[in-house]
Structure 1
Amino acid sequence: MTIIDLQDGSLSARVSTSGGTLLDYSWAVDGHRIALLRPAPDDAEASASACYPLVPFGNRIRNNRFAFEGRDYKLRPNTASDPHYLHGDGWQAEWSILSRQSNELQIGFRQREGDTPYGYEAKQTIVLSAEGLTLRMSVENTGKDALPFGLGWHPYFPMTPQTTLFAPAQRFWTETEGWLPGEHADIPADLDFSKPSPLPRRWVNNGFEGWNGEAEIVWPERHASLLLTADASVRHAFIFIPDTDFNPAFRQDYFCFEPMSHIANGHNLPDLGDLKILQPGETLAGSIRLRPQRYPQ
């Protein structure tokens, strides 16, 4: 494991090659340090980090099984706490440093077919500039067969008593047993972020379709906001707010807004839920940017 510090002006980030995770993204303003993502210690596991990658897809597949092009595929659980193969391999892999500058880092890892049907090469480019933090990720199918691929990010944002979220979306997925998506439904009032709204203080674990690729998180107490924008390949999002039954240490101090290229359990949907079929040698790529601003403007 190697820890890399990036700096550009008032912005700083900290990256670990363990899981390809961000451990910190902060903004120095008027002598104060504002955490833009949940800070984590150097030895934090991915699930306790500031942000981790989702590759070769995010979330879960019902019953760890899917059929594609006449073949049946089965996956095995990759954590002790969940019966599913969860969030792919990237967050559990050791990434290699491919290039490094004071404000830019590229890391990568290669997954061979074996425990899963997926063989691929993933790369992340993490760039700090005066405009904010840009995260770019690509995944190339290095296996022998075409398969559906996706990617995404799992950031943890600080949640203060006055935090609001703006993230317009068109459709909503309920949650069913096993932390899996259930069915389409109307967006509940307390999860309608078509205008800046406070986050509910309850369990939330739901996917949103038709996201327009823009979200804004505002921390009024900190006089700061964070504008998240995603490119055209990333038009789905997942919102996760735990509770103390799931995590006894949870103090309503963070939430997750996860930009993704696809729907959870897309492997088992007729249209693959926007997963992209990659032939051997083909690549899927996506990026997001997180830009801090003073609030109010």
Structure 2
Amino acid sequence: MSLIALDYGEFFATLSTRGGALWSFEMRHQGQTFPLLQIRGDAASDGAGLSGCFPLVPFGNRVRDNGFVLAGKHHVFLANTDDDPFYLHGDGWLGEWHIVEHSQSRCLLSFEKQQDAQGAASPYVYRATEDITLDDEGLILTLTVTNQGDETLPFGLGWHPFFPLTSRTKLTARASHYWTEESDRLPGSRETLPCALDFNEARPLPDHWVNNGFEGWDGLAEIVWSDDNLILEIRASDLFTRYQIFVSDISFDPTYKKDFFCFEPMSHAVDAHNQAGLAGLRLLEPGASLCGSMRLHPRIG
């Protein structure tokens, strides 16, 4: 595991090869430092799950019953963490990435998922790259996955950022519908947006558990921290037409201090493997690739 520092103008970031994680992203302005991501662990010792942001590859979130059927073949997954019964968020966030290129303001990482013994844990075999670059506007992440297996499979991409949360934090992110959540943290039904989860106009995050997927996103979002007069604009490429919002609670995490929330750009729905039309997942033949990007552009309002 290696830690990598990036520095450009007003911006600073720390990366880890463990999980391809973006541990921190900060803006320096007029003698002050503003953290744009919420860190909950130690980059030198903890996994990507406690970082500020980690990649979702070859797909994000969960698959119902840890399996799906494609072209008449049943594919299965095994749980990949100790505290969740599902194969969660793919492999990239749990694997060791390698440095391909590195400069003061840019780092290119790569990760390879090899064939499991008889496909026991996952049918996926692929190579992923993550390009992290600082520039005049902030930070841009570009994630690419290439199917290196011998069969066509559905792939998706996303990121899992953790953003600072206060009672005055507001989010704007367009959506047409959202998915209710079942008791096993899987999607229930597709519904119109309730008032508390309608972020088509700026709205504070709910003060309770939220773990829902949203669709009909135009790839633009804005987070405002009015206490610091700080604004973060999120711009995702056309691949990302959905997002997931997560707000924890103490019944799930006794250490939760209501100090972060997650806004996760995703190319596909949760459990898209088992939805009609694959709900945003893309079928990649052997050798084919999928690519998407996300820009984080902070500014003082």
Fold conserved between structures, TM > 0.5: yes
The equivalent position to 1:76 in structure 2, one of 57, 63, 78, is 78
Opposite residue 37 of structure 1, the aligned amino acid is L
Matches within 5 A, 1:132-147: 132-147=138-153
1:137-177 deviations in whole A, cap 9, x for unaligned?
00000000000000100000000121000001011000002
Alignment of 1:1-297 (within 5 A): 1-39=1-39, 40-42=41-43, 43-114=45-116, 115-295=121-301
Runs of 4+ in 1 over 4 A off after TM superposition: none
CA positional deviation for 1:192:
0.5
Compute the displacement of 1:57 (Å): 0.1
Whole-Å Cα distance in 1 between the matches of residues 219 and 20 of structure 2?
23
Q: What do residues 211-257 of structure 1 show as CA deviations (whole Å, max 9, x unaligned)?
A: 11000000000111100000001111000000001111101100000
In 2: Cα distance, 1:47 partner to 1:222 partner: 27
Alpha-carbon distance between aligned partners in 2 of 1:44 and 1:234, rounded to the nearest angstrom: 29
**Deviation digits for residues 68-92 of structure 1, max 9, x if unmatched?**
0110011000011111000000000
Q: Secondary structure at the match of 1:59?
A: coil
Say whether the 8 Å CA contact 2:176–2:192 is kept in structure 1. Answer: no
- Report the Cα offset of residue 41 of structure 1: 2.5
Amino acid at match of 2:38: R
- Counterpart of 1:66, as a letter, is F
Secondary structure at the aligned position of 1:222 is classed as coil
1-structure distance, mates of 2:152, 2:10: 44
TM-score normalized with structure 1 length: 0.98
Q: C-alpha distance in 2, partners of 1:207/1:286?
A: 19
Structure 1 gap segments, 5+ residues each: none
CA shift digits 1:178-226 (9 cap, x unpaired): 1101110121111100101111110000000011100000000011110
Question: How far did 1:44 drift?
Answer: 2.7
C-alpha separation in 2, matches of 1:112 and 1:93: 11
Over aligned residues, Cα RMSD in angstroms? 0.7
In the alignment, the residues of structure 2 paired with residue 41 and residue 13 of structure 1 have an alpha-carbon distance, to the nearest angstrom, of 15
TM-score between the two structures when normalised by the length of structure 2? 0.97
Report how many residues are paired.
Answer: 295
